Chains A and B, each alone.
Chain A
């Protein structure tokens, strides 16, 4: 993990709102996400019409998104995706809402928000990302370090 090749491309600092550390492949969207009616909790797939991630699953991924929208069922649907093993392993978002905050808390997925740079500009789908909810940091590599 300490070779030059493994040097991260970027490190963001923000506010950790759910503790813990997780790392994995990033799934990035500039569209806000609906919980209930916007995703299928059984598979973690986005189902909203006209959503740029429609048909893609965030299961096991680091979900990077602007924020939550739509139904108040946001937290419970993401919570159910956790029960099905289809939840994101970590989250990064910009806009604080009760939906996203509560959803992150009950999924207990490491989550960072209020970053010093816009994570939507810095993180790309497929990047390898470590989210440290204790330190409030996000470390980004082009691909999984060897």
Chain B
């Protein structure tokens, strides 16, 4: 049984209100399931609190069918409906269901949009920041090394643990919503030193020096180590924010990687010895030319037709550096009449893209810069899409399976070419 401090007992006894009491009840059930012995305090929580499609609200019709009902019954898994106050922790809303302006282009209905507007007003009224992105660290929430967080979004979690050295498990909707009220999360997993040690080695023997290559290596690593912690060394270079972003997202999708060490690159891995921290060194996985080719073929195994009718970029949400690159690649060109190009980012980054004129360059080319969501999250693709092209291993992993379409993985430049010609010409150099 998880041990409670006096402050936690007081919350459980209802001294901080009914909603926080319900939050503690859920967190205790969760901590006991994990086998956690105590809670850790957190003041950095990111989730998707209370937002729900209409059918979920309808399910709780007898409870009022509103934000309060969904937050109580679904998010806090409470048997009764309670009043939901402003959140106690610094709380952020991750990605949402549609672009606030371009929702009609995304194929959303008036009713769905009205529900979206209503949920967003509730989120703001409860003191939750409207970041609406899978990349909170690009939109105003950058944790520091050692900070205990409670984050959802596997790609953000792996970034926070690995690149920043913050401490978070891959939390879920219900645990983050509860943590926003109780400011507690089970002290288990990545909150503890021992859990953060490397378990297996990955030896990189081919040059991994671009976002395309980092993405493929990430997909290989996740497939190889599943949900364990890899220690990656060898021929990997040109580290940058966007490369880590694509590597981690891919590794979290093909496996369940929530933290990785890159020797000499990430903060908890100055050396191989420190990355393993005295723990047993498991298997050694070799990433060589054959492995690279196999990963490329795996990612492209759901593509047969070369007639690309949709190009999706921005998974995880594009940084301003990536949007600048897309604008440079497409400036003066036009998206082909048989194709479409949607680029996804956060509202914060789009504000910069607007100021720089990138949004207009994309629009003049027939492309859209969209915010809040992505094709996989909102199952939104242009009507009639059969074949999509992507520069994200993560999106290539999910989108074709979810939408029943074909998919291609390639470089950003290959994707822009496909958008402008309607033909896939990608190949492994």
Which A residues fall within an 8 A CB radius of B?
A: 15, 17-18, 32, 37-38, 47-49, 67-76, 79-80, 83, 95-99, 101-106, 108, 111
Contacts and interface: CB of A to CB of B under 8 A. Distances in A.
B35 A69 contact: no
B91 interface: no
User: From DSSP, what is the main secondary structure of chain A's interface residues?
Assistant: mixed
Interface of B: 26, 29-30, 32-35, 48, 56, 59, 74, 77, 151-154, 157, 169-175, 188-189, 226-227, 252-253, 255-256, 301-302, 376, 397-398, 400-402
Contacts of B30: 101-102, 105
B239 to A, nearest CB: 25
B147 to A, nearest CB: 18
A103 to B, nearest CB: 7
Contact of A98 (B48, B56, B189, B302): B189
Given A98-B189, A105-B26, A75 B173 contact: yes
A66 B231 CA distance: 23
A97 B152 CA distance: 14
Contacts of B26: 105-106
A37 B398 contact: yes
Given A49-B401, A72-B170, A98-B172, A105 B227 contact: no
B174 A79 contact: yes
Contacts of A106: 26, 77, 172, 174
A77 to B, nearest CB: 9
B56 A83 contact: yes
B66 to A, nearest CB: 16
A65 to B, nearest CB: 13
15 contacts: A32-B256, A37-B376, A47-B402, A67-B256, A69-B226, A75-B174, A79-B173, A79-B174, A80-B56, A95-B227, A97-B256, A98-B34, A98-B172, A98-B188, A108-B77
A6 to B, nearest CB: 31
